């Protein structure tokens, strides 16, 4: 279990693991690995601020998963110093990042992904953002 008492820290990035187990054969979910859950846990995954059907940053075919995470220490929601703004987690979906089906416009590579980049597309993940602010004394 990752725990730094009294320290403010943020874990963020593409952890290539869903926030919870998606299927029996998918492996451990991020919640299982780090013990991330509700705000009473030692760490808080900001995906839990969104409704279940909105918790994704990656889509492949019809499956949508949350592989990218912003996980915060309890000191970032204790009403002291720097604070995570509740419910501020967002998936950044600018029109230029979307394909015709509304999925991330992934980079285009010739020869079925084995050749050269064609100069089109961006990523197979949507960026995720959250707001942090300081509190007045």
Segment 26-41, tens digit of pLDDT: 545 565 444 444 555 5
pLDDT tens-digit readout, 62-103: 788 888 989 888 888 888 889 999 999 999 999 999 988 888
Q: Please state the domain extents for the chain.
A: 10-92+126-134
Q: In this structure, what token pair is assigned to residue 19?
A: 């926030």
Burial 99-115 (b: 16+ CB within 10 A, else e): eeeebbbbeeeeeeeee
Task: Note the pTM of the prediction, 2 decimals.
Answer: 0.77
């Amino acid at each position: 279990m990752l725990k730094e008492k009294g320290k403010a820290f943020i874990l963020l990035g593409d952890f290539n693991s869903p926030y919870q187990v998606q299927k029996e054969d998918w492996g451990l979910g991020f919640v299982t690995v780090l013990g991330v859950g509700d705000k009473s846990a030692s760490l808080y995954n900001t995906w839990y601020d969104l409704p279940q059907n909105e918790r994704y940053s990656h889509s492949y075919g019809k499956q949508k998963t949350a592989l990218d995470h912003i996980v915060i220490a309890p000191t970032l929601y204790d009403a002291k110093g720097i604070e995570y703004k509740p419910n501020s987690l967002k998936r950044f979906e600018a029109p230029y990042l979307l394909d015709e089906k509304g999925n991330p416009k992934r980079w285009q590579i010739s020869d079925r992904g084995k050749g050269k980049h064609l100069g089109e597309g961006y990523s197979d993940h949507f960026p995720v953002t959250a707001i942090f602010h300081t509190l007045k004394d």
